[in-house]
Amino acid sequence: MVQLTLVIRITNMHFYIITIFPHALESFLKTSLIARGIKKKIISLKIHNLRDWAYDKHKSVDDRPYGGGPGMVLRVDVMDRAIKSVKSKTKSQRTKVILLTPQGKPFTAQIAQQLSSLKSLVLITGHYEGYDERIRDLADEEISIGDYVLTGGELPAMVVIDAVSRFVPGFLGKKSSLAEESFGTWKLAFGKLLEYPQYTRPADYKGKLAPAVLLSGDHKKIKNWRLEQAIKRTKQRRSDLIT
């Protein structure tokens, strides 16, 4: 008699994106590790069109700012409906609503790792002139991916999803890949380090040689060389990271 075992894989991390341009994110779902993570049910992504929660037949989600000024501002009443609806589908207490805005705290590898311990993330993407100020009260956290302004929040959402997913168990093939890359989980007294230089074939390209130590087969020497190079590179390029 043959015994069959049913294996049910539970998704580790759920991302919910609220946007007015859902098509801007569709190709992202089909690329590289993100697509593989979705296929293996390590992560899931659901894109929600903010216009689905509009009140009028024109699907209006924004309006002119009080007091005058250029641009349009996303409405708090529509966003409130959207967030409540999406959160009701997460079915988890380990959920955070993230407002993507240049005014948020800078996004780092440490924040990405912290967010990866949650079950769900609801990402709010902005557009036009910005958010009604009262929308900030609907979010748990505000995040910025840099000191510059983009035309919309879809790119920041993709950055956050990609960075957080790399910390979700099973997303990367090797944990060492995560530990040794720039801003990785280096367990050292030096602080955060940039990744060491990498080389592959050909060993000699137009007189520029790959370091002999990497071809030596001596793993201890290679490890020491990589650490030295990581420290050297970090001091040269990002001395602020060295503690």
Q: Write the CB contacts of 45 (distance below 8 Å, at least 6 apart in sequence).
A: 14, 15, 16, 17, 25, 29, 34, 38, 161
Q: In this structure, what is the dihedral angle of CA atoms 63, 68, 70, 72, given to the nearest 10 degrees?
A: -10
Pairwise CA distance, residues 55 & 231, whole Å: 56
Query: Which tokens belong to 219?
Result: 């793993």
pLDDT along the chain (243 residues), means of 10: 48 94 93 94 96 96 93 95 94 90 94 96 91 96 95 96 95 67 55 88 95 96 94 92 78
- Alpha helices by DSSP H, listed for the chain, are 23-26, 32-39, 76-90, 109-115, 154-165, 175-180, 219-237
Pairwise CA distance, residues 231 & 225, whole Å: 10
Domain boundaries along the sequence of the chain: 13-165, 175-241
Which CATH code for domain 175-241?
Answer: 1.10.1270.20
pLDDT of residue 232: 94
pLDDT of residue 124: 98
pLDDT of residue 173: 75
pLDDT of residue 242: 82
pLDDT of residue 6: 45
Of 90, 98, 107, nearest in space to 136 by CA: 98
**What's the 3-state SS for 109-166?**
HHHHHHHCCCCEEEEECCECCEECHHHHHHCCEEEECCCCCCCECHHHHHHHHHHHHC
pLDDT of residue 170: 93
The DSSP 8-state label assigned to residue 7 in this structure reads -
pLDDT of residue 3: 46
Pairwise CA distance, residues 103 & 160, whole Å: 16
- How many of the other CB atoms lie within 10 Å of CB of 151? 10
Task: Please name the amino acid found at residue 3.
Answer: Q
pTM comes to 0.85
* Strands 95-106 vs 141-144: parallel, antiparallel or unpaired: parallel
pLDDT of residue 223: 93
Domain 13-165: what homologous superfamily?
SPOUT methyltransferase, trefoil knot domain (3.40.1280.10)
CA distances from 168 to 11, 64, 115, 145, 185 (A): 10, 41, 9, 20, 14
